[in-house]
Amino acid sequence: MWELRHRGGGGPGPGGEAAAPPREGEAAGGDHETESTSDKETDIDDRYGDLDSRTDSDIPEIPPSLDRTPEILKKALSGLSSRWKNWWIRGILTLTMISLFFLIIYMGSFMLMLLVLSIQVKCFHEIITIGYRVYHSYDLPWFRTLSWYFLLCVNYFFYGETVADYFATFVQREEQLQFLIRYHRFISFALYLAGFCMFVLSLVKKHYRLQFYMFAWTHVTLLITVTQSHLVIQNLFEGMIWFLVPISSVICNDIAAYIFGFFFGRTPLIKLSPKKTWEGFIGGFFSTVIFGFIAAYLLSKYQYFVCPVEYRSDVNSFVTECEPSELFQLQSYSLPPFLKAVLRRESVSMYPFQIHSIALSTFASLIGPFGGFFASGFKRAFKIKDFANTIPGHGGIMDRFDCQYLMATFVHVYITSFIRGPNPSKVLQQLLVLQPEQQLNIYKTLKTHLIEKGILQPTLKV
């Protein structure tokens, strides 16, 4: 009877709950002997590849990895009942993560960059492991190597672009680095091609479909995790505040929506996540906006957070020291009349950045949850409870970062559209790559322009 279900996955889906007879046995028995022509494949591909057309309920659940709660915590909380114990574990881990976050912020932007990189690698690992389990393809020839190789290639490409932009002065000094930077795209492409050719050469007769699935799975994962993490790093280099405020807004929205839902929750929000409620959603929205507003106010004062990260060749380290841009200088805004009556003040002095933070918080609370729903749908589709069991009580790293997924892209697009124009160091770097005649032409054009604008005083001497 199970056959009727999977015909046309979009059909009314009758009787999805009836147990499916183990089709592997039937297929394996009947078809093994007649394998002769090169075009036919044995049932391995069909057995697992056919997972495609079956509806969700046919797929057996993938058991999560073992519980990794440390022994210490278990002993300390052994006296409590199971429900409170779970709460305590979650609470302690939350506080640990938050303090780790503060510690890393204190240590500076370079450490933050390393942290982002390790999170990205771990997320990639988690998603790829799910892929292996779904397709039982852990033993596919070459595949684990190839997945990590592709991760390396794409990271090399992106980091090369970032490093070249921001560390132009550092790079100019070293000859080998110059060569690498100049032909960076070509080298990255050659590396990727090598991986592609290895993939094609590694195609094994009986496992074509699985191998293509894993190839696509790897690429989609790379698209999701690696591009997001690089946008995060680009935001970070713009100024740590562009990294901190969005991430804290998302975390605050998570927590506030949970608390509001806990106390006031009644109307369910979406079938995907039955625990989310409209009250939590709206309450979370307002608290996140207020939180973002206050956090922006607090952070805008410090040069450490506000200045773009630069590499100074003299000190050979990263510095965040600058003249804060107007975005981070207090300005007086006259209040609209009804607020005047409420607050009884004529005007209020705010940082312009706080207005941007309202936009960021709004996105974090309205669209950010869709990233969470996407991850929930993904977990339900593949019948896993958590992405992994890295963090006791919370699940995998990916579970913590699923809502951040869209936020980083939004912040990056926001910055490029509304805040700043192109990156000055990138413009400079591209200028230096041009042909000398072109450089001279541009020099003359720029000089005329700058003199017109009064930025440059015309001089008679060089």
Partner 1 sequence: MTKEGCLSRGLRSGLCHRLPHSLLWSSTLHSRACFLHIFRPGPIKRAAHKESESEAKADGETASDSESRVEAATLPPSADDTPEVLNRALSNLSSRWKNWWVRGILTLAMIAFFFIIIYLGPMVLMMIVMCVQIKCFHEIITIGYNVYHSYDLPWFRTLSWYFLLCVNYFFYGETVTDYFFTLVQREEPLRILSKYHRFISFTLYLTGFCMFVLSLVKKHYRLQFYMFGWTHVTLLIVVTQSHLVIHNLFEGMIWFIVPISCVICNDIMAYMFGFFFGRTPLIKLSPKKTWEGFIGGFFATVVFGLLLSYVMSGYRCFVCPVEYNNDTNSFTVDCEPSGLFRLQEYNIPGVIQSIIGWKTVRMYPFQIHSIALSTFASLIGPFGGFFASGFKRAFKIKDFANTIPGHGGIMDRFDCQYLMATFVNVYIASFIRGPNPSKLVQQFLTLRPDQQLHIFNTLKSHLTDKGMLTAATEDK
Among 68, 136, 182, 385, binds partner 1 (CB under 8 A): 182
Rg (CA), the chain: 27
Which residues, 6+ apart, have CB-to-CB distance to 363 below 8 Å?
406, 407, 410
Closest to partner 1 by CB, 77 vs 218, is: 218
Give the residue, chosen from 84, 110, 179, 183, that forms a contact with partner 1 under the rule CB under 8 A. Answer: 183
Residue partners of 66: CB distance under 8 A and separation at least 6: 389
Q: What is the DSSP letter of 326?
A: G
In the complex, minimum distance from the CB of residue 72 to partner 1, in angstroms, rounded to a whole number: 38
Give the one residue of 109, 120, 147, 211 binding partner 1; rule: CB under 8 A: 211
H or E element at residue 318 = strand 317-319
Angle at 108 between CA 106 and CA 112, to 5 degrees: 105
Q: Which stretch binds partner 1 (CB under 8 A): 141-149, 238-246, 298-306, 424-432?
A: 424-432
Beta bridge partners of 231: none
Q: Should residue 152 be labelled a site residue for partner 1 when binding is judged by CB under 8 A?
A: no
409 binds partner 1 (CB under 8 A): yes
State which of residues 95, 97, 103, 220 lies at the interface with partner 1 (CB under 8 A): 220
Would you give the binding string for partner 1 spanning residues 382-401, x where CB under 8 A is met?
x-------------------
Q: Where are the beta strands (DSSP E) in 96-244?
A: none
Q: Work out whether 445 is an interface residue with partner 1 (CB under 8 A).
A: yes
Q: Which member of 4, 62, 100, 339 binds partner 1 (CB under 8 A)? A: 4
Binding status of residue 443 toward partner 1 by CB under 8 A? yes
Q: Does 223 bind partner 1 (CB under 8 A)?
A: yes
- Taking CB under 8 A as the criterion, which residues in 94-123 touch partner 1? none
**Does residue 405 contact residue 228 with C-beta atoms inside 8 Å?**
yes
Q: Strands of 27-112 (E only): list them.
A: none
Of 205-213, 236-244, 246-254, 299-307, the segment contacting partner 1 by CB under 8 A is: 205-213
Residues contacting 165, CB < 8 A, separation 6+? 423, 425, 426, 429
Q: What residues numbered 252-311 form the site for partner 1, per CB under 8 A? A: 270-272
Between residues 135 and 291, which has the closer beta carbon with respect to partner 1?
135
312 binds partner 1 (CB under 8 A): no
Residues 5-34 that bind partner 1 (CB under 8 A): 6-11, 13, 16, 23, 26-27, 31, 34
DSSP H or E run through 268: strand 268-270
Secondary structure of 163-193 in the HEC alphabet? HHHHCHHHHHHCHHHHHHHHCHHHHHHHHHH
Window of 65-73, 110-118, 257-265, 438-446 that interacts with partner 1 by CB under 8 A? 438-446
Alpha helices in 7-81 (DSSP H): 23-31, 43-49, 71-76
Confirm or reject binding of residue 430 to partner 1 (CB under 8 A).
Answer: yes
Among 133, 144, 209, 394, binds partner 1 (CB under 8 A): 209
Choices 46-54, 236-244, 283-291, 396-404 (CB under 8 A): range interacting with partner 1: 46-54
329 binds partner 1 (CB under 8 A): no
Q: Does 446 bind partner 1 (CB under 8 A)?
A: yes
Q: Say whether residue 206 binds partner 1 (CB under 8 A).
A: no
| CA dist., res. 360 & res. 406, Å (int) | 11
Q: Which is nearer to partner 1, 241 or 269 (CB)?
A: 269
Using the rule CB under 8 A, which residue among 59, 93, 163, 282 binds partner 1? 59
Span from 61-69, 82-90, 258-266, 451-459 in contact with partner 1 (CB under 8 A): 451-459
CA-closest candidate to residue 64, choices 391, 404, 400 = 391
d(CA 329, CA 424): 22
The alpha-helical segments, DSSP class H, found in 32-81 are: 43-49, 71-76
Near partner 1 by CB under 8 A: residue from 41, 161, 310, 386? 41
Phi, psi of 332 (to 5 degrees): -95, 130
